[in-house]
Every structure is written in C-alpha cells, then in structure tokens.
C-alpha cells in the first residue's frame, strides 16, 4: 500500500464510522496510512455517480455506510458495472440484526448523530441542575425549562436530577419565610413552574429522620411542627402568587412525581422532549 492509493469514504451522514473502520484496517498493512477522501451527506444519485467516476479514474476503493436504500442499490450496481470495488461496511451486521431480531431497519441516515445530540443535551441538563440547585445562581430561573419551588425536603433536588436525565434544564428554589423569593419566579411563564407541597406529618417525619442521620437533636426548630406549618402556609401563598400548578409529593415516588410534572407541563403547552 502506498501513499497514492485512495479510499473514498462515502456516507449519507458524517461518515465517522466508515472513517474509523478504514483507518483500523489500513493500520494492519505495515502501519502505513491510507489516503482517505471523505464524501459525506450524499443525498442523491448524482453524488454517487460522481464518486464512482472518481474512484474508477484513480483506481480506488469505495468504503461506504449508506442506509438510504435506493442510493445503496445504485452504488452497488454501478460500481460493479464499471469494475470499482465498493464495500458496504454496515450490511453484514445489519443482516445479522434482521435475522436475529426479526425487524427491518429504518433506513434513516444521521441517527447516530441524533443519539450523540441527545447524550450531550442530557449532560448539559444535569450540569444545569447541579449549578441551579437549592436556589443557587437564581439567574438560571429564566433559562430553565422547569422551575421547582417548595419548602425543604420536598424532593426538589432528586426531582431536578431525575428530570435532567430526561434532558430538561431544571432549577429549584427553596421557599423560606425569612427569605424573599427571587423576582424572576414571578416573571417567568407560570406554566414553567411547579410547586411541591407535602402534608405536615410527613414532612415532620422526613425532617426528624434527616436530623437523626446528621447526628442532631430532633428537637431542633427544623423539625418543629409549628415551624413546619408556618413554612407550608408561606410556600402555598407564594405558589398561588406565581399561579403555578401544585403537586402533593407526600406519598409519591420521584418517578411518579416527575411523570405528573411532565404530563402537566405538556398539557399546558410547555416545551416538551419526546
């Protein structure tokens, strides 16, 4: 293999898969690099014809990952007719999938790119949730897809992280009688905010357990029932001012509450990830 030899890497998407496979194979031939010419995002027969002509004139190989059926068929047929070696890098594994799982491939290009975009969207959402947890950096309220408000121990943080894993940017804000809520809470569309409430007895139970885990006395004001009633009353007043929907999380799992939030926001017309 010499440096003048070419491989045309052809794809109806980016062509990263074909590129990596060609390089992996080329590395087995004395470690010499093959000269790769990328032809990405092919969309019609003319693109294929041009590649075949170039490969024929340069005595080159075509390595391709094309899932659009009529383009693949055209490339296979025309390359055989003119004597150009064309290798379908996906077909062997695709055929095994068809036989094993008894399903037909979608034939839709760029799906890997969509998966990558989905992954990075989730990572970004998780970073956002961490940065804007528990009222930190209140400037994120206007940037959030969902804003959760409620008193301490109403599952705001775990809900934020759970929703972030679904790709939503979530900020959560604690409501405390001694601290005025951020002005932005009253300025964002009310259908992007959700209030979380809980029964006094359940909250008392959760807070007492929390204090025990921290090695603190359960007599602290944090778990005092009178204080809890004061906080819940204050929180509900703020939620009513905002005009946001309210969910009672007393006996709900995180997943159940999250499903309710998404269903509620979808019904109200808030942007929603399928």
20 is written with which tokens? 């990596």
Report whether pLDDT(232) > 90. Answer: yes
Query: Among 251, 261, 244, 246, which residue's Cα sits nearest to residue 163?
Result: 261
Query: pLDDT tens for residues 173-187?
Result: 999 999 999 999 999
Regarding predicted confidence, which is higher, 6 or 144?
A: 144
- The answer to whether 157 is annotated as binding is yes
Inter-residue contact 231 to 222 (CB < 8 Å)? no
Nearest-angstrom CA–CA distance, 126 and 247 = 23
Q: Which residues contact 31 (CB under 8 A, 6 or more apart)?
A: none
Instruction: Provide the pLDDT for residue 272.
Output: 46
Among 46-60, 108-122, 188-202, where is mean pLDDT lowest? Answer: 108-122
- The answer to whether 156 is annotated as binding is yes
Query: pLDDT tens for residues 18-31?
Result: 888 888 888 887 65
Inter-residue contact 197 to 236 (CB < 8 Å)? yes
Highest mean pLDDT among 85-94, 129-138, 233-242: 233-242
**How many angstroms separate the Cα of 188 from the Cα of each of 101, 139, 143, 177?**
47, 11, 9, 21
- The answer to whether 270 is annotated as binding is no
Report whether pLDDT(49) > 60. Answer: yes
The helix-helix angle for 156-164 and 111-131 (nearest 10°) equals 160
In order of their start, the domains of the chain are: 6-109 (3.40.50), 117-267 (3.40.50)
- The answer to whether 155 is annotated as binding is yes
Instruction: Determine the average pLDDT of the residues in 242-268.
Output: 92
- The answer to whether 153 is annotated as binding is yes
- The answer to whether 31 is annotated as binding is no
- The answer to whether 166 is annotated as binding is no
Query: pLDDT tens for residues 78-118?
Result: 999 999 999 999 888 888 888 888 877 666 666 555 556 77
């Amino acid at each position: 293999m010499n440096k003048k030899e070419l491989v045309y890497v052809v794809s109806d998407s980016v062509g990263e898969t074909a590129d990596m496979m060609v390089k992996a194979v080329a590395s087995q031939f004395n470690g010499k690099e093959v000269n790769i010419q990328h032809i990405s995002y092919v969309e019609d027969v003319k693109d294929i014809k041009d590649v075949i002509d170039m490969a024929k004139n340069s005595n080159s190989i075509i390595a391709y990952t094309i899932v659009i059926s009529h383009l693949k068929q055209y490339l296979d047929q025309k390359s055989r007719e003119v004597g150009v070696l064309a290798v379908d890098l996906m077909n062997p594994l695709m055929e095994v999938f068809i036989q094993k799982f008894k399903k037909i491939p979608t034939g839709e290009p760029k799906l890997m790119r969509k998966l990558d975009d989905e992954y990075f969207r989730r990572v970004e959402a998780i970073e956002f949730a961490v940065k804007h947890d528990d009222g930190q950096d209140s400037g994120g309220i206007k940037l959030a897809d969902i804003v959760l408000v409620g008193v301490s121990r109403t599952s705001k943080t775990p809900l934020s992280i759970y929703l972030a894993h679904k790709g939503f940017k979530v900020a959560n804000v604690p409501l405390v009688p001694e601290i005025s809520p951020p002005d932005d809470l009253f300025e964002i569309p009310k259908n992007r905010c959700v209030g979380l409430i809980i029964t006094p007895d359940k909250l008392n139970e959760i807070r007492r357990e929390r204090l025990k885990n921290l090695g603190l006395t359960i007599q602290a004001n944090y778990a005092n029932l009178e204080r809890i009633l004061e906080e819940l009353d204050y929180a509900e007043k703020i939620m009513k001012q905002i005009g946001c929907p309210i969910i009672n999380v007393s006996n709900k799992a995180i997943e159940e509450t999250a499903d309710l939030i998404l269903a509620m926001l979808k019904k109200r017309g808030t942007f929603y990830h399928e």
